[in-house]
Amino acid sequence: MIRVLALLLLPITAQAETVRIATFNTELSRDGPGLLLRDIRRGDPQVNAVIDVLVTNRPDIVALQGIDWDLDGLALEALAEALNDSGLDYPYSFAAQPNSGIETTLDLDGDGETGGPGDAQGWGRFTGQNGLAVLSRYPIETDGVRSFSEMLWRDLPGAILPTEQAEPFPSAQAQTIQRLSSTSHWIIPIDTPGGRINLMTFHASPPVFDGSEDRNGLRNRDEIRLWSLLLNGDLGPAYSDRFVIAGDANLDPYQGEGHKSTIRGLLADPLIQDPVPVDPAGSASTVRWKGVGEMRVDYILPSADWRVRDAGIYWPDPPDRERAATASRHRLVWVELFDE
């Protein structure tokens, strides 16, 4: 009896709460408004494959890229319902209108014409194509979301805007309205059992599909630089809250086109840590593009004050690999964080 009492009186070590955060470019984009909602409701094979990937990995919070936005949030709601039917419940979500597909009256891509998808604030055939969304098991403080999506590119400190023959490209007038974010830059506060997480999410322009003016490459550079500037106090007071950057930078640190020193600089920032997730084969590649190969372009970068329990890239063994590849060319990247 005395021994039992002694055991009961021993101090109990609290188990640190672990939160699993993921980022996943789902490529759930269609050629017209309403088509994604249709495909979710009818059980499209790609949609079902995306659901399988999410259900298998079961993140507590997931930042989604490449998912079409609609004004009433019907597609995201339908996706959450389909996930719930498969045993993965996300009672909280956030999505807002991205820059992709927002029409302008100017020629923004320099092709000499107006009204095309390249003349939108971010490339898109319709408003909301290739948007962003966040699904969460934990409450999202929607009133506290901070968006940089309306920031003009020219207003970013140190921005390099494209020129051709020493003249603004495509025109000085275009540069007066051109926003920095091709999709969005959001800071989303989420209340978890271990405390608030500020999720920083974005989807940068691919640094290709342009000419010698390097419009897309320079835009990609500055979309990534926004986070470094924010963290180090060049966009207001230095950022001091706990955060996780999760998104698609569309830039590999060492391979392919683009200003690779930009992503290397972000990865080396002392305010963040790079867990360097790998797949079961030990590869850090997060996407496989036909004709280009495998690259690391999708990132989860926790602030330095987090403890990382584990991290990885989902790429299953055969025969599940073929189904995972049906979901997206991108792979889901995850990290498990805790605070002692």
CATH assignment of the domain containing 245:
3.60.10.10
CB atoms within 10 A of CB 267: 15
pLDDT at 201: 98
Say which residue, 291 or 48, is predicted with more confidence.
48
Residue 180 lies in a domain: yes
**Residue 191 and residue 138 in contact, taking contact as beta carbons nearer than 8 Å:** yes
Residue 28 lies in a domain: yes
Q: Please name which of 42, 58, 148, 133 lies closest in space to residue 95, comparing C-alpha atoms.
A: 133
The C-alpha atoms of residue 76 and residue 134 are separated, in whole angstroms, by 9
Residue 5 lies in a domain: no
* 42-101 pLDDT tens trace: 999 999 999 999 999 999 999 999 999 999 999 999 999 999 999 999 999 999 999 999
Mean pLDDT throughout 17-46? Answer: 97
Could you tell me the residue range of the domain that residue 35 belongs to? Answer: 19-338
Residue 126 lies in a domain: yes
* 132-176 pLDDT tens trace: 999 999 999 999 999 999 999 999 999 999 999 999 999 999 999
Q: Which residues are bridge partners to 313 per DSSP? A: 333
Q: Please name which of 125, 119, 118 lies closest in space to residue 36, comparing C-alpha atoms.
A: 125
**pTM for the whole thing?**
0.94
Is residue 11 pLDDT above 80, yes or no? no
Mean pLDDT throughout 99-117? Answer: 97
pLDDT at 15: 57
Residue 112 lies in a domain: yes
Q: Provide the number of structural domains found in the chain.
A: 1
CB atoms within 10 A of CB 166: 5
Is residue 340 pLDDT above 90, yes or no? no
The C-alpha atoms of residue 205 and residue 15 are separated, in whole angstroms, by 41
Residue 14 lies in a domain: no
pLDDT at 133: 98
The C-alpha atoms of residue 303 and residue 123 are separated, in whole angstroms, by 31
pLDDT at 319: 74
Residue 13 lies in a domain: no
Residue 8 lies in a domain: no
